[in-house]
């Protein structure tokens, strides 16, 4: 019997379906990151998910549907975790450090998703245009307004807010999008948690100093 929709445990069938859909999306995220949208095949995604192609198509009826869902999931995580104005802390220095380290953490735990997003943007973001305009840009505008207010209040140096965010995004996503290059330069097979900690220490030092802020 189904449980009532009042916050209690959902029906087993619903929970199982959600878990299976997530398994498919995780598999698709990896395949799309490695082969791109054009090169990825439904057969390869189904194989990685441990399902038949026909079974997978019951949940996602096309490669386009899968791709759109992967992109939306990546951006939902980005927007949910990376809103500057929602970072813990009562000073610009603390909030910006939490923002930078949070962005790095997404690169660490969702490197494939970051690569899918980067490849889509490089290709012209045709699958993302509406989502970027309706979801990402409003969040960016809110964060820009907060930085402009800090500058107006004399709480940080006067800098170009847009390019501040562009640079944070680029520097933190490097550890996902170009992880092979970074790993090679460090003489390692893969980046580990300590590497991301060191990256966070360095980036927060550079950014805070460059913005006239002191870490507390």
How many structural domains are present in the chain? 1
Per-residue pLDDT tens digits for 20-36: 999 999 999 999 999 99
* 39 in a structural domain: no
Asked whether 108 and 175 are in contact (CB, 8 A), the reply is yes
Q: How far apart are CA 142 and CA 150, in angstroms?
A: 13
Could you tell me if residue 2 is inside a domain? no
Domain containing residue 179: 68-211
Please answer whether residues 176 and 191 qualify as being in contact, where contact means their C-beta atoms are separated by less than 8 angstroms.
Answer: no
Determine contact, residues 134/127, Cβ cutoff 8 Å.
Answer: no
Residues 80-122: tens digit of each pLDDT: 776 787 777 789 999 999 999 999 999 999 999 999 999 998 8
Work out the angle at residue 109's Cα, subtended by the Cα atoms of residues 105 and 112, and round it to the nearest 5 degrees: 120
In a domain, 50, yes or no: no
CATH value at residue 105:
1.10.357.10
- Distance between alpha carbon 137 and the CA centroid of its chain, in Å? 15
Closest CA to 69 of 14, 138, 18, 108: 18
pTM of the model: 0.83
- pLDDT, residue 2, reads 46
Rounded to the nearest 10 degrees, what angle do helices 161-177 and 193-210 cross at? 160
Would you state the pLDDT for residue 9?
A: 58
Instruction: Give the pLDDT of the chain (216 residues) as one tens digit per residue.
Output: 445 555 555 556 687 888 999 999 999 999 999 999 999 999 999 999 999 999 999 999 999 999 999 998 888 887 777 678 777 778 999 999 999 999 999 999 999 999 999 999 888 888 888 888 888 889 899 999 999 999 999 999 999 999 999 999 999 999 999 999 999 999 999 999 999 999 999 999 999 999 999 876
Cα dihedral: 153, 155, 160, 166 (round 10): -130
Answer whether residue 56 is part of any domain: no
Please tell me the predicted confidence (pLDDT) of residue 99. 93
pLDDT of 28 reads 96
Does residue 53 lie in a domain region? no
| Residue at 107 is within a domain | yes
């Amino acid at each position: 019997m189904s449980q009532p929709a009042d916050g209690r445990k959902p029906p087993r069938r619903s929970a199982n379906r959600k878990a299976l859909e997530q398994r498919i999306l995780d598999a698709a995220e990896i395949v799309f990151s490695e082969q791109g949208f054009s090169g990825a095949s439904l057969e390869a995604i189904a194989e990685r998910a441990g399902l038949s192609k026909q079974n997978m198509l019951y949940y996602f009826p096309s490669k386009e549907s899968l791709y759109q869902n992967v992109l939306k999931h990546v951006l939902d995580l980005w927007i949910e975790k990376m809103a500057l104005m929602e970072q813990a802390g009562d000073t610009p220095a603390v909030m910006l450090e939490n923002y930078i380290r949070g962005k790095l953490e997404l690169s660490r735990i969702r490197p494939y998703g970051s690569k899918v997003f980067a490849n889509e943007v490089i290709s012209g973001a045709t699958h993302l245009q509406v989502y970027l305009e309706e979801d990402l840009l409003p969040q960016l505008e809110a964060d820009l307004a907060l930085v402009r207010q800090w500058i107006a209040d004399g709480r940080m140096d006067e800098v170009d807010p847009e390019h501040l965010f562009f640079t944070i995004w680029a520097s933190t996503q490097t550890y996902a999008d170009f992880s092979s290059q970074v790993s090679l330069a460090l003489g390692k097979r893969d980046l580990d948690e300590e590497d991301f900690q060191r990256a966070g220490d360095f980036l927060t030092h550079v950014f805070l100093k460059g913005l006239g802020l002191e870490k507390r």
